[in-house]
Amino acid sequence: MIILGIDPGLANTGWGVVEHVGNRFRCLGYGCVTTSATDATSIRLSKVHREIGEVIERYAPAEAAVESVYFGTNAKTAFATGQARGVALLATAHARLALGEYGPGEIKMAVVGTGGADKQQVQYMVRAILGLSHEPTPDHAADALAAAICHAHRRGAAALERLTGTTDGIADHAQTAADHEEAVR
């Protein structure tokens, strides 16, 4: 299974492509779509859409994982991030990719084991999980790889639940992550 992870942002949209087979992960590629604040918003959004579409065409993922927008104290930034997220979602829809959407705390929980992990912890664990020789940079790309890893874990948990008819604590674990994320907000 090839999964595209996306960490949306108007200035920087991270992307990462992971192959997941059994319990093994392999990084196929990662990067960041960077736009200039001096360009019109429409030009910046067009670039995000176009470059995410090119990544999809190059790596042919079957599914995608997108980080949901964190609405912090800066509404202007959240709105711009939401716009970038929208065009990234449009690119995945055009490619007819199955899509998973995850909050930042849920992604951190799946990769690091705590929803309150910092950027360095995420980068370190992404490096370890993917067997990379160095931590992926920029952090937007590491976050995108983390989203793809989270999606693979969630797919596996859902499959296990369907097979066994039980969550074996999986739903409780996900709820705890969601509760923690809500408390952080």
What is the structure's pLDDT at 150?
A: 96
Catalytic site residue from 51, 63, 67, 181: 67
What is the structure's pLDDT at 139?
A: 93
Reply yes or no on whether 20 is catalytic: no
What is the structure's pLDDT at 169?
A: 44
Burial 2-13, CB ≥16 within 10 A → b, else e = bbbbbbbbbbbb
User: Domain ranges in the chain?
Assistant: 2-184
Catalytic site residue from 51, 63, 139, 140: 140
What is the structure's pLDDT at 182?
A: 40
Domain 2-184: CATH superfamily is Ribonuclease H-like superfamily/Ribonuclease H (3.30.420.10)
Alpha carbon distance, N-terminus to C-terminus of the chain? 33
What's the predicted TM-score (pTM) here? 0.83
What is the structure's pLDDT at 72?
A: 65
What is the structure's pLDDT at 177?
A: 38
Reply yes or no on whether 179 is catalytic: no
What is the structure's pLDDT at 184?
A: 34
What is the structure's pLDDT at 1?
A: 93
What is the structure's pLDDT at 143?
A: 96
Catalytic site residue from 7, 63, 106, 143: 7
Reply yes or no on whether 94 is catalytic: no
Residues of the chain with pLDDT under 50: 159-164, 167-185
Distances (CA, A) of 50 to 90, 99, 139: 10, 18, 21
